[in-house]
Structure 1
Amino acid sequence: MQRFLPAHFCRGGTSKGLFLQDRALANISHATRERIILAAMGTPDPDGRQIDGMGGGISSLSKVAILHAPGAQHPTPDSPNAFPGVPWANDIAKARDSKSGWDVVYRFVQVGVREPELDWGSTCGNLISAAAMTAINWNLVHNESILNQLVQADPKSGPHATLPIRILAANNGLVVTANVPVTLDPVAPKPTLVAITGGDAVIAGVPGTGAPIVIETPIPTAPLRTGNPRDVLKVGDHEIEASIVDTGLPVIFVPADRLLNLASSTHTLASSPAALDADTALMDLIERVRVAGATHAGIPLSSAAPKVCLVGPTDRKDADLMIRAVSVGNIHRTVPATTLSALASAAAIPGTIVQSVSSSPAHASAPNTGDVVPLTIVHPAGTASASVKIGSVDGTKRPEAIVYTRTARLLFAGNVAVPESIFQGES
């Protein structure tokens, strides 16, 4: 026997994830909730394929998101069955605040592949685009002004608008704004907004084009985790310079040539992810750097955080630097959006590892308040870009927000099946 849970399966940016409705998971024990997620994704799988579930065998394809509108009836924050994350996610008064509120609560889970590991403490910037699209399709957000604007428009003109959605990433408490192109649902019985998926935006690593979803992520605190543009990490008998940057998820940036030399690697930063993954000495060193960086900066260590990113110069005229990001023990096939955000921020801070290898004139000197500083990086599948807005806090200039573009597409809408035995003991 199996039980069927309503679900959407979506691509967001260069990631894919299973989206679940909170009401299917809210009123059960947290242990059962986690067993459901593991079974749905096909984890654990000693062969690393997640053959018995929706997962794709690598970190970017092994993700789950849970969405709901603020105010949903959940266990109280002090309950052992409460969802992980900030305890005020369902605070209606806070959510309705015109300046700091939110429209949707987004709970992200990074699901292990070989081991039954669930990380509720990290987040995924790529899936934010799919979360925004799904929130519209599930009618979790409403905007009467935009709806009326489209209803009154000439149908022959192909009416469309941009709907800003404020998304609370419950894992870290940040409110991210996703600007989604919308139109009227042609088959709905009454006027209803629907996300537009067709467009001309290109995301390297994703075939074809899609509607651009512009995402703005605030940086509420100074992004340098230790306050220093560079730190020296002690890794065995070696000292390795690193920049530890946090714009929503901490990332340890290290010079690629330094690690490749220490690992006596025959590869270069331009080598394929598969080739670098197979270099066990290099991957072991990267993990040791990750542990050392987490200890040095006081970052709780999990499978998904902090991340490590190798950086180096590029000869390409259309990019500023080259990177290889490491996510859950593997070289990422593109770049995580959270890493891209940290890269853009670090590039605008004098003295960081990232700023020092960038070839862009925009990164050659300290930016001014109000500047928008762009960054384009080379990753295994092509290029990716983001921009950082510079603000001022107590007279000190620092990055205050990251802006980047993603696309998203609904891949299936229906139910995901999990064994009925998982629910044994639940009412």
Structure 2
Amino acid sequence: MSFLPQIRIPATYMRGGTSKGVFFRLQDLPEAAQQPGPARDAVLLRVIGSPDPYGKQIDGMGGATSSTSKTVILSPSTRADHDVDYLFGQVSIDKAFVDWSGNCGNLSAAVGAFAISSGLVDASRIPQNGLATVRIWQANISKTIIAHIPVCNGQVQESGDFELDGVTFPAAEVQLEFMDPAADEDGDGGAMFPTGNLIDTLDVPGIGSFPATMINAGIPTIFVNAADIGYQGTELQDAINGDTAALARFETIRAYGAVKMGLIKDIAEAATRQHTPKIAFVAPSASYQSSSNKTVQAADIDLLVRALSMGKLHHAMMGTAAVAIGTAAAIPGTLVSNAAGGAKQAVRFGHPSGTLRVGAEAVQDNGQWKVSRAIMSRSARVLMEGWVRIPAETLTGI
């Protein structure tokens, strides 16, 4: 019996913020996968090792968590005043499904470095020493991200002393600016609060009715008060991820919130839209022990936030959800700014791994809130580069 050799695809495995993912240049993908569709999804699923009924992704590059089951495709930008187009695919662990509905804010921190190192940024825009400004078009959500990448002797600088809670080792700081994070592509900021309200009453059959702030900034996010759903806001992963009934309740809340936000028409559709919206719960600041046993003091944070991603409590905080947090915190009258003790242009919030600071510039224009940009710092580095391999049968019959 003869067997076809595996397909080799140039790829780079990178950490960005508190996530990891496999990065590709569009031109390096198999020809059939260079366009959106079943072939592309099949390639990425096989690279990551999904679907895996064991939930481990042993036969792939994924790490069996929402933070490590990720893929990125970059190409020279087709838009004026941008350097690179960035497409993010969140790969389901146990289903044959790639969710293209949102961005990954954490991996956004690695996009600029990968773009420079892969020759996707014009050499004239890269200083010999200093900060390179990489203009990124986030193709999933039609938004601009500006990444400030440290450069030393003409090369991306990855080492440094910037510490990020949720990441074990320090690295070079990468500042990200999420431009017009709540605006539509035509610049209309009216979609920031899809219901038109800063706070709605969310009715969830079998669970209850409670206040919710539903915002589209960075990524569509549903915020609820921790106390309204029986939590303190100091919980770590094990307190929720080991409770199947709690996870089911969160997913039900998320589904009903998605309908109210207009993202889906029926709650059954939520199963095919796992990446968005996110659901998070907030509480006033309080002291707690982080997952690394570091004490987070109430006086050092403005509020507590816990968020779920792909059906599990996140070990730190999704970058895009941090944008939503910063945006909502800057606007008086949201559940987030209420938990923070009032609207703030920059907040430091506590998450399971520690703390994170995020800022947003919010103004009210003709009765509507608009945010020009949200800013936060992350770090990124290459973990491995070379080729990933997938069986040739991956593309058979597609």
Do they superpose with TM above 0.5?
yes
- One-letter amino acid of the counterpart of residue 207, structure 1: T
Q: 1:393, CA displacement in angstroms?
A: 3.7
- Among candidates 134, 137, 145, match of residue 165 of structure 1: 134
Q: Structure 1 residues 5 and 292 mapped into 2: Cα distance closer, same or farther (>3 Å)? A: same
Counterpart in the other structure of 2:235 = 271
Segments of structure 2 that go 5 or more residues without pairing to the other structure are: 184-188, 265-269, 287-297
Deviations 1:211-254 (A, max 9, x none): 11110002222422222110111101521210001113100000
Whole-angstrom distance in 2 between the partners of 1:395 and 1:282: 38
- Among candidates 364, 381, 389, match of residue 417 of structure 1: 389
- One-letter amino acid of the counterpart of residue 273, structure 1: Q
> Does structure 2 conserve the Cα–Cα contact (< 8 Å) formed by 1:349 and 1:398?
no
The count of corresponding residues between Structure 1 and Structure 2 is 364
TM-score norm. by structure 2 comes to 0.87
Whole-angstrom distance in 2 between the partners of 1:292 and 1:69: 38
Q: 1:143, CA displacement in angstroms?
A: 4.5
- Among candidates 204, 221, 232, match of residue 235 of structure 1: 204
Deviations 1:372-401 (A, max 9, x none): x11111011100110011345457553221
> Does structure 2 conserve the Cα–Cα contact (< 8 Å) formed by 1:253 and 1:354?
yes
Q: Does 1:249 align with 2:219?
A: yes
Q: 1:274, CA displacement in angstroms?
A: 1.7
Deviations 1:59-83 (A, max 9, x none): 111000001102xxxxxxxxxxxxx
Q: Does 1:180 align with 2:180?
A: no
3-state SS of the aligned residue for 1:283?
Answer: helix
> Does structure 1 conserve the Cα–Cα contact (< 8 Å) formed by 2:165 and 2:355?
yes
Q: CA RMSD in A?
A: 1.7
Deviations 1:158-182 (A, max 9, x none): xx21111110110011011001111
Q: 1:275, CA displacement in angstroms?
A: 2.0
Q: Does 1:33 align with 2:2?
A: no
- Among candidates 232, 250, 253, match of residue 289 of structure 1: 253
Q: 1:423, CA displacement in angstroms?
A: 3.0
- Among candidates 27, 30, 53, match of residue 60 of structure 2: 53
Whole-angstrom distance in 1 between the partners of 2:389 and 2:347: 42
Q: Does 1:124 align with 2:131?
A: no
Q: Structure 1 residues 339 and 145 mapped into 2: Cα distance closer, same or farther (>3 Å)? A: closer
> Does structure 1 conserve the Cα–Cα contact (< 8 Å) formed by 2:125 and 2:133?
no
Whole-angstrom distance in 1 between the partners of 2:147 and 2:22: 19
Counterpart in the other structure of 2:321 = 339
Q: 1:424, CA displacement in angstroms?
A: 2.8
- One-letter amino acid of the counterpart of residue 352, structure 2: P
Q: 1:136, CA displacement in angstroms?
A: 0.7
Q: Does 1:65 align with 2:72?
A: yes
Q: Does 1:14 align with 2:18?
A: yes
| Percent sequence identity over aligned pairs | 33
Counterpart in the other structure of 1:388 = 360
Q: 1:19, CA displacement in angstroms?
A: 0.3
Q: 1:416, CA displacement in angstroms?
A: 0.2
Whole-angstrom distance in 2 between the partners of 1:270 and 1:350: 24
Segments of structure 1 that go 5 or more residues without pairing to the other structure are: 71-89, 151-159, 185-192, 261-266, 368-372
3-state SS of the aligned residue for 1:252?
Answer: strand
- One-letter amino acid of the counterpart of residue 8, structure 2: F
Whole-angstrom distance in 2 between the partners of 1:248 and 1:210: 24
- One-letter amino acid of the counterpart of residue 179, structure 1: H
Q: 1:145, CA displacement in angstroms?
A: 5.8
3-state SS of the aligned residue for 2:213?
Answer: strand
> Does structure 2 conserve the Cα–Cα contact (< 8 Å) formed by 1:259 and 1:282?
no
- One-letter amino acid of the counterpart of residue 162, structure 2: A
- Among candidates 319, 333, 339, match of residue 351 of structure 1: 333
3-state SS of the aligned residue for 2:299?
Answer: coil
Q: 1:255, CA displacement in angstroms?
A: 0.6
Q: Structure 1 residues 214 and 236 mapped into 2: Cα distance closer, same or farther (>3 Å)? A: same
Counterpart in the other structure of 1:73 = none
Counterpart in the other structure of 1:136 = 116
TM-score norm. by structure 1 comes to 0.82
Counterpart in the other structure of 1:86 = none
- One-letter amino acid of the counterpart of residue 323, structure 1: V
Whole-angstrom distance in 2 between the partners of 1:425 and 1:336: 36
Q: Does 1:3 align with 2:10?
A: no
Q: Structure 1 residues 26 and 349 mapped into 2: Cα distance closer, same or farther (>3 Å)? A: farther
Whole-angstrom distance in 1 between the partners of 2:126 and 2:115: 16
Q: Structure 1 residues 277 and 349 mapped into 2: Cα distance closer, same or farther (>3 Å)? A: same
Deviations 1:280-322 (A, max 9, x none): 2322211111111111110134111001001111221110111
Whole-angstrom distance in 2 between the partners of 1:331 and 1:308: 10
> Does structure 2 conserve the Cα–Cα contact (< 8 Å) formed by 1:122 and 1:305?
yes
